[in-house]
Amino acid sequence: MLVEALVLSAILFVIGTAGVLIRRNAIIMFLCIELMLNAVNLSFVALSRYLGIEGQLYVFFVMTVAAAEAAVGLAIIIAIFRHYETVNVDNFNLLKW
Amino acid sequence: MTEPARTTTEALAATAQAGSGFDPVLPGIILLLPLLGFLLNGILALVAGSRSATALRLAALAEPDSEEERVDHQHEVGAPKRATHTLPTWIGPGVMLLAFVLTAANFLRMLGADLHDAVVISYWSWMPTGALSVDAAIQLDQLSMIMMMVITGVGFLIHVFSVGYMKDDPGYPRYFAYLNLFVFFMLVLVTGANFPVMFVGWEGVGLCSYLLIGFWFQDREKADAGKKAFIVNRIGDVGLLMAMFILFSTFGTLNYGEIFAAAPTTLVYGGGVVTAITLFLLLGAAGKSAQIPLYVWLPDAMAGPTPVSALIHAATMVTAGVYLVARASVLFALAPVGAAAVATIGALTALFAATIALKQYDIKKVLAYSTVSQLGFMFMGVGVGAYAAGVFHLMTHAFFKALLFLGAGAVIHSMHHALHATHKDWDAQDMRNMGGLRRPMKWTWIFMWIATLAIAGIWPFAGFFSKDEIIWYVGTSAPFGPLYAVLWGMAVVTALLTAFYMTRMMILTFHGPNRTGEAERKHLHEAPLTMTIPLGVLAILSIFGGWINVPESVRNSFFGGFGLLPMSEWLHDWLLPVTAAADAIRLEQMGAYAYQSPIGGGHVTWGFIATGLALAVVILASRLFLSRDVKTALEEGEPTSGIGKLLYNKWYVDEFYDRIIVQPVIGISRFSWRVVDRVLIDGTVNAVGAVSRGAGWFGSLFQTGQLNTYAFILALGALALLGVLIL
Amino acid sequence: MVDLLFYVFAAVVLGGGIGVVLARSPVGSLLFMLATLFAMAGIFVLFEAHFLAAIQVMVYAGAIMVLFLFVIMLLNLGHDFRKDFTHGAGMIAAFAVAGLLAGLLARQLRGTGDHPLYAFFPGPEGMDALLAERGAVGAIAHPLFTDYVVAFELTGILLLMALVGAIAIAKQRV
């Protein structure tokens, strides 16, 4: 079952990556990033079954960081939306020069 | 520092000295006293400076005065003086008096002792490197003792004079700080026991000279004069440094004692090395002592306050070159070509400067060229091996030239006040504007006449003995007989010219009708006591100072009161321990002096001839200028033709230097600036900058600002990493 | 039984993942995401990570996703989904990158079970013993409050900072 879980994790990670690259809605890009995080979590959990409890600890920390990231990220999205009236990342191009 | 940490060898030497009876009294304190004065006055100057800056700023805020009026306010007399202006009055001359007393005590002790070798006191190891080891050491011997006596004695008098002369100047504490610092460095110069320590003093006095020439630095011309003095002196310093390098490579040490002891055996008589050393030393000495071709800075140095001219540019610093040659007498005795070069340079300078002095109207310029001329005499003296005579003239010259400068200072002081009282913008230093000053300034007049007669070489004043002795030695020197005969002729002519232009100066200044104008005349006044008393002391020294070194034959003649004079050749005997080695070499190589002028006649005969001629010139010049109707500077203007114009413009030497040296240097500098600096260096730097900027612009093209692009590139980067890890 | 459950959950996870990427409206994406998270929690249970499964449901599916939902509702998004996808070259590039990634991972995972390293895997017995001794929560809690206590406290500080930052950024006056 370990190998199957790792394969599932890899597939989920690729799906998340593709989602980040394909979608332009900032919120959905965020969701895809969560997807990638979950894929990694799955690897950790699967391996921790055989290698020890530390894997689960990392998952715990990843979840915390994901929560923090979601809070700040969504706040940024709200701020941007207030300014541009959209969350389409094509419109955000102030990062150049 | 008060308790010298002597090394073993020096302690042994000191013990040996103690046997001969000379134990110096607090020699380090003599040097430290002026330094202390500098520090105290410097602090006061900083306080006063910051306060006057504030006051000026406030005044500018309160009422937008014109610059001229503000200067007037600073001159205001009678306002209560602040502590920063009253304390230096006591500190400045006070430390000098203490230093003089200590020096005199040491001098008396040395007088009582039979000292043959110099006493070297080493304080600490200054440059303890592998091959070169230099101690911060001072050396007390007969030569440095004489110099210290002159420096502290004349220096003290000039400090006292300055109290009166500078009392209304806003920079009063700063002035005394510089003056004290100068005395400190001058003492370091003459007491240093090796070349590097002497060089510290040498550069230090140059610095103080620069600071004091440019003392009124608000005036562009005066600041420029300071820079000129500094730069010209640097040229000479190159020579001194080169000489030090050669000395070190030859002897492996820079201590006086070791070099001069080893020189007669190490160096070949008349050899290339010693000639090179002496010629480089001559270059250094010529820079400091204002000899051809480096004399041009001294006349401009008159931009400084007059007491400064008296102390630095007449009595002490400019004689450092003479001191240097006398100190290195062994080397010059070993190098007849170098010595002859010294004498020739001296003679040329003496005559050349004397001709310029004939046609100058600025009272200080006359004295400046006179100083250059007299320094030439000293160079002649030490150049022909008459070191005692050179130092003798150095000493008497310090007396009467300081007196002349201080007297001129008193005159300028009086003229300045008179012209200032009526707001007349005449030149207070131009003799054509003076005339008839003997009535308001009786004492100054008397004292200056004494100095004039002394410098003119009239018996029995000091200059008669010292100058005639030099002329005497020049005429009979060897080994280039004909050359020295010519130099002798030049010296005699210079002596007569000196009598002429000094008389001219006195007549124009003090005699004839007064030309200042009706309103100004009643403001002319005698200088205050702080100024006249130093004049009086110097006048006494100018009369009697020459009696300490009268040759035996002269002493027994009319000039010595047929043997009444209590001593003969005292200075010569006194300096014998210093010059003995050089004299021995001379005696061995070319025999004794002939004691005859090139055209015959002995001491006494020529004494009569010289004083008679000088007296005749003085009388002739007096009659000539008294009968002449002198016009004021405005009425007369500059001479337009003939030799007068040539002399008035100082043989156009400044213009010549400007054309030959200054302009090419400026041209090269401009080339360096415009081509090397701007095009090559700046171009390279700018090109680097431009390339960076271009690269940045190119890189900025990748910054689309689109989040997608960044995400895409991030993914690519992650892929690349993953690929490297996996594949 | 366990294998069968795993495949069921795996299918839901994959379907949910694809749904997140392809759903037209943000709310749809979010719902697919919820399904994924729940299925993932199930897989966690299969791997005996009961505590993580619980907080996966409570914190992830419960709190974070509700936060997303709030924002989507607040901003009233989801009316212009055509612009929501990249077009043309962007799409091709995205698939190329995803494909490349998939290839690399596949290469890495190929034959994982046969890898000699797996022979040295200790097997699930150790974990079983640990869980039996401490229980699902205690097994995680013990190292968290002993060996990893600094990291744990730092995580708390991180959350506080995120809280303050989010408030500061999302305040009315930007």
DSSP string, B426-495: --TTBGGG---TTTT-HHHHHHHHHHHHHHHT-TTSHHHHHHHHHHHHHHT--SSHHHHHHHHHHHHHHH
Q: Coil, strand or helix: which one is A50? A: helix
What was the pLDDT predicted at B286? 93
The token pair that represents B266 in the structure block:
């190490």
Q: What is the mean pLDDT of chain C?
A: 87
Query: In terms of CA atoms, which chain A residue is nearest residue B708?
Result: A21
- Residue B67 reports pLDDT greater than 70: no
Calculate mean pLDDT across residues B91-108: 92
* Most B CBs within 10 Å, among A23, A96, A97, to test the B interface: A96
For residue B724, list chain C residues with Cβ-Cβ distance below 8 A. none
The answer to whether A4 contacts chain B (CB < 8 Å) is: no
C109 to A10: CB separation less than 8 angstroms, yes or no: yes
Query: In terms of CA atoms, which chain A residue is nearest residue B712?
Result: A21
SS3 assignment for B54-116: HHHHHHHHHCCCCHHHHHHHHHCCCCCCCHHHHHHHHHHHHHHHHHHHHHHHHHHHHHHCCCC
Q: What confidence tens digit (pLDDT) does each residue in C55-93 have?
A: 999 998 989 999 999 888 888 776 666 677 887 888 888
Looking at the complex, report in whole angstroms how far the Cα of residue B721 sits from the nearest Cα belonging to chain C: 11
Q: Which helix (H) or strand (E) holds B249?
A: helix B220-251
A35 to C20: CB separation less than 8 angstroms, yes or no: yes
Whether the link from the prior residue into B479 is cis, omega within 30° of 0, is yes
The CATH number of C1-110 is: 1.20.120.1200
Q: How many CB pairs under 8 A join A and B?
A: 34
Give percent above pLDDT 90 in chain B: 39
Length of chain B: 727
CATH number of domain containing A79: 1.10.287.3510
Q: What confidence tens digit (pLDDT) does each residue in C111-158 have?
A: 666 666 666 777 788 888 888 888 888 889 999 999 999 999 999 999
Query: In terms of CA atoms, which chain C residue is nearest residue A46?
Result: C47
Residue pair B357/B284 in contact (Cβ under 8 Å)? The answer is: no
- Helix, strand, coil distribution of chain C in percent, nearest 5: 80, 0, 20
The token pair that represents B416 in the structure block:
């300045």
Question: How far, in Å, CA of B327 to CA of B38, rounded?
Answer: 28
The pLDDT confidence band at residue B594, using thresholds 50, 70 and 90, is low
What was the pLDDT predicted at B553? 76
Q: What is the mean pLDDT of chain A?
A: 88
C97 to B716: CB separation less than 8 angstroms, yes or no: yes
What was the pLDDT predicted at B2? 41
Rg (CA), chain A: 16
Looking at the complex, report in whole angstroms how far the Cα of residue B707 sits from the nearest Cα belonging to chain A: 6
**Shortest CB distance from C143 goes to which of A30, A57, A87?**
A57
* Most A CBs within 10 Å, among C14, C58, C72, C77, to test the A interface: C77
A5 to C6: CB separation less than 8 angstroms, yes or no: yes
B715 to C97: CB separation less than 8 angstroms, yes or no: yes
- Helix, strand, coil distribution of chain B in percent, nearest 5: 75, 5, 20
Residue B343: name the closest of B291, B295, B388 by CA: B291
Q: How many CB pairs under 8 A join B and C?
A: 21
Calculate mean pLDDT across residues B333-358: 91
For residue C3, list chain A residues with Cβ-Cβ distance below 8 A. 1
What subunits make at least 3 CB pairs under 8 angstroms with A? B, C
- Residue B11 reports pLDDT greater than 50: no
Residue A35 placed within a domain: yes
Residue A97 placed within a domain: no
Question: How far, in Å, CA of B430 to CA of B427, rounded?
Answer: 6
C104 to B719: CB separation less than 8 angstroms, yes or no: yes
The answer to whether C92 contacts chain B (CB < 8 Å) is: no
- Residue B17 reports pLDDT greater than 60: no
Calculate mean pLDDT across residues C91-120: 81
A93 to B705: CB separation less than 8 angstroms, yes or no: yes
The number of distinct structural domains making up chain A is 1
B708 to A21: CB separation less than 8 angstroms, yes or no: yes
| B21-35, B221-235, C12-26, range with the lowest pLDDT | B21-35
What was the pLDDT predicted at B14? 47
Higher pLDDT, B603 or B248: B248
Looking at the complex, report in whole angstroms how far the Cα of residue C121 sits from the nearest Cα belonging to chain B: 21
The pLDDT confidence band at residue C105, using thresholds 50, 70 and 90, is confident
- Residue C172, phi then psi, degrees to nearest 5: -60, -50
Q: What confidence tens digit (pLDDT) does each residue in B620-653 have?
A: 999 988 888 777 777 777 777 777 788 888 888 8
**Shortest CB distance from C77 goes to which of A24, A27, A82?**
A27
Residue pair B330/B472 in contact (Cβ under 8 Å)? The answer is: no
Residue A94 placed within a domain: no
- List chain C domain ranges: 1-110, 122-174
- Residue B12 reports pLDDT greater than 50: no
Calculate mean pLDDT across residues B25-53: 88
Bridge partners of B137, per DSSP, are: B122
- Residue B154 reports pLDDT greater than 60: yes
- Residue B682 reports pLDDT greater than 50: yes
For residue A36, list chain C residues with Cβ-Cβ distance below 8 A. none
Q: What is the mean pLDDT of chain B?
A: 85
C104 to B722: CB separation less than 8 angstroms, yes or no: yes
**Shortest CB distance from B726 goes to which of C86, C90, C107?**
C107
Residue A93 placed within a domain: no
Give the residues of chain A that fall short of pLDDT 70: 94-97
Q: Please, what's the largest Cα pairwise distance for chain A?
A: 50
What was the pLDDT predicted at C74? 85
- Residue B159 reports pLDDT greater than 90: yes
- Residue B3 reports pLDDT greater than 50: no
For tokens 């320590």, name the residue.
Answer: B197
Which domain does A39 fall in, by range?
Answer: 2-84
A93 to B703: CB separation less than 8 angstroms, yes or no: no
The pLDDT confidence band at residue B555, using thresholds 50, 70 and 90, is confident
ipTM score: 0.90
Other CB atoms within 10 A of residue B565 CB: 17
Looking at the complex, report in whole angstroms how far the Cα of residue B709 sits from the nearest Cα belonging to chain A: 9
- Residue B181 reports pLDDT greater than 90: yes
What was the pLDDT predicted at B79? 54
What subunits make at least 3 CB pairs under 8 angstroms with B? A, C
For residue A38, list chain C residues with Cβ-Cβ distance below 8 A. 36-37, 40, 60
In terms of C-beta distances under 8 Å and separation of at least 24 residues, what long-range contacts does B167-172 make, across chains too?
Answer: B167/B85, B167/B89, B168/B75, B168/B77, B169/B305, B170/B48, B170/B52, B170/B74, B171/B45, B171/B215, B171/B216, B172/B48, B172/B84, B172/B85, B172/B88
Give percent above pLDDT 70 in chain B: 92
Residue B466: name the closest of B394, B399, B539 by CA: B394
**Shortest CB distance from B719 goes to which of C86, C101, C107?**
C101
Query: In terms of CA atoms, which chain B residue is nearest residue A26?
Result: B707
- Residue B702 reports pLDDT greater than 70: yes
Interface of C with B in 95-134 (CB under 8 A): 97, 100-101, 104, 107-108
The answer to whether A20 contacts chain B (CB < 8 Å) is: yes
For residue C90, list chain B residues with Cβ-Cβ distance below 8 A. 708, 712
Query: In terms of CA atoms, which chain B residue is nearest residue C100?
Result: B719
- Residue B194 reports pLDDT greater than 80: yes
Calculate mean pLDDT across residues C18-34: 91
What was the pLDDT predicted at B564? 74
| Overall pTM > 0.80 | no
